[in-house]
Amino acid sequence: MGDGRRVRASSTPSVNRGIMKKGIHPKLEQTIIKCGCGAELETLSTTDKLHVDICSKCHPFFTGEERFVDTEGRVERFNRKYGEEEE
């Protein structure tokens, strides 16, 4: 072709393109994903049950809430250890 485009030759006949091989793909089944907040979502998966810690219904990015979790006073402990010393 004179316009600079390349034509790629295929090793498979055009009638077989897009057909998946049988017997090698895992079976998809209806699955319920359960979140730590209690929300449930139905989808297709190769496993029957899934559990996630956080989902779009409780994640701060999607809810617009700002959460700050200070477990065991870690912020105070950090400030005592590395904070500025008062004179």
Domain-by-domain residue ranges, the chain? 26-65
Taking residues 38-44, report their average pLDDT: 90
Q: The tokens of 30 are what?
A: 């209806």
Contact between residue 28 and residue 46 where contact means Cβ atoms under 8 Å apart: yes
Nearest to 55 by CA among 82, 37, 71: 37
Q: Average pLDDT of the chain?
A: 76
Q: Taking the model in full, what pTM does it have?
A: 0.45
Contact between residue 52 and residue 33 where contact means Cβ atoms under 8 Å apart: yes
Task: For the domain made up of 26-65, give the CATH fold.
Answer: Rhinovirus 14, subunit 4 (4.10.80)
Q: How many residues does the chain have?
A: 87
Residue 42: predicted pLDDT? 92
Nearest to 58 by CA among 85, 44, 40: 40
